[in-house]
Structure 1
Amino acid sequence: MDAHLRAGVAVYNEGEYHGAHDAWEELWLGLETGTDDERLLHGLIQFTAAVFHARNGNWAGAVGLADSGRGYLRGLPGAYRGVNVETARSYLAALETDPERIERARPPALRVDGEALLYDDLPFDAAVVAAGVLASEYGYDESRREGAAAFARENLAAGETTFETLVLEFLRDQAGQ
């Protein structure tokens, strides 16, 4: 879960509000409904979707997602699994009453263990997840993407870092777009 959690946070913090949920969705769907982990991921998915809709002027969509996102995050500790849940809850409450606030200021950074993760901060397993999210978001061939990730893991296990460098470079290139 940690790699997916960190990847989604970094993707979101890099401004890919729509793509961020893809790092969490498959994992979330496999969790038992109502568990703290399920509520965290569901709430983060709603949070990033609310931000995405607000950024695109879909005020009604942003308000509805802000309301449901707060519901999923309600009752979780202010920092759960290291994520700044209280910041997300507070922003969702503000977004619910004033979705146009997104036009006046950037949404808050998500943090893990106090750090607003970006691509360069990710360990390799999380970087592979983030690269897969971005490749999917921008229409790269899925079979090639999965093959590249598997090859990178094999290379890393063998002590080679060339392909790891290429995965990280892909993330840096996407951040520069």
Structure 2
Amino acid sequence: MTKSSVSCPVPTEQQPVNEYEQLKSAWLFRDCTAELREYIIRIAWIYALSWLIAGPLSAASFPPHKFIAQFALSAAAGASIGVVLVLVRLYLGWSYVRDRLFSPVIFYEESGWYDGQTWAKPTEILTRDRLIVTYQIQPILRRLQLTFALMFVLYIAGTIVWQII
């Protein structure tokens, strides 16, 4: 990012563009910015790790040697909970930064929770921040929304299969 000629009273770590850069480089959040193939692989890893918890729980309710279909469906549904929790965390984090970047006024704390201030962004900074939202963050949020939609479709499909068996 280029330095602005406008003086900003907001502490560096609370400036929305710096919050964006920090989030973009955080280990879990940077997965959303990866190529589609890498993103899918990382979501699949989260799903596989969730199976370590969901599998034994499902096996306790549906012994695999007697009820293989019920075991597989309930373990798959249980494992998807881990994925959904991670996706919710990702969505909330990116939404928070999007809202801070898009807002024309920024709330910030000078030294603690008791002395909050607001700062109106100059047009130059507001334009830059909104471009970041449009071209960087919105595609990430769309990807997360599509992932949620796919998870929902898979859940419905699993429910239909459960009713059939």
TM range (shorter): under 0.3
TM-score, L = length of structure 1 = 0.25
More strand by share: 2
